[in-house]
Structure 1
């Protein structure tokens, strides 16, 4: 059974997100192209668009502008995956990551993304092009990004566990 990711970020961000619109559900490749077209003012120099995404519990892709919080994109609900996605003008996934400090999803959440892209017939890289490892510090409870396999808390210097350790009860 795939893991469900509850929001584990700051409560003030969750509260601020109540007034933000949820992400737009994408039900087809044409829907993806339409969303891209509607946000073309955010294109980068390579004519690509970086967006916030979540895969909801129904397995649907929700997109929001890059500056959006993941919890807002998800309408406050738990997700199967979350991160940032870079789309091309052809409606292809150029890059994708699990970078969401609000949900802290594992790289192992990739199959939820792949399932959506294949159902929508969207070309994708077949994996997260940037994989983020998140851990909560057992000592100070801070969320951490693990870099270069260095499992040490950036805040208190405590050891971080090697296995994913977020849950809806806080640790």
Structure 2
């Protein structure tokens, strides 16, 4: 199921440049050798054609995806060999459900990048139908943190 960007329109309007596609181990090596490693995590998306795209962590997921819909989005960390050491679905712009893991695994497998077999941290998001606030669900509390409305 593709996820559409639901974040602020002004962020989407500045959604450039796109993330770097990683289709193979060679793509990873070329990108990783020039990446800034001061922050061990990176922004990622899986495009609707199943390609992993990566960008610096402080960039927006919608920029990494060039404004397009995605199959998954979050943060990812690698060791120098290309093994994934951390991967999440943390993206408040796309709010992907934890069930998007198979798309992440398929993209990593296609690129030849070993991974942990599941998200190392998962996040669940809920939009309030009354005030519109985006909530990060914690401790199975599906209550809007702003107005107290029950979230579906």
One fold, TM greater than 0.5?
yes
Query: 8 Å contact 2:23–2:110 — kept in the other structure?
Result: no
After superposition, where does 1:147-162 map in structure 2 within 5 Å?
A: 147-161=138-152
Could you list the structure 1 runs, at least 4 aligned residues long, displaced by more than 6 angstroms after superposition. Answer: none
Which of these residues, 31, 38, 50, is aligned with residue 35 of structure 1?
A: 31
Per the alignment, residue 14 of structure 1 pairs with 12
TM-score of the pair, normalised by structure 2: 0.96
Measured in 2, the distance between the counterparts of 1:33 and 1:91 equals 8
Residues in 2 aligned to 1:83 and 1:120: alpha-carbon distance in whole angstroms: 17
Matches within 5 A, 1:62-77: 62-77=53-68
Structure 2 counterpart SS, 1:42: coil
Shift in Å at residue 122 of structure 1? 1.1
When the two chains are superposed, the root-mean-square deviation of aligned CA atoms in Å is 1.0
Gaps of 5+ in 1: 162-171
Counting matched residue pairs gives 152
Map of 2:46 onto structure 1: 55
TM-score by length of 1: 0.86
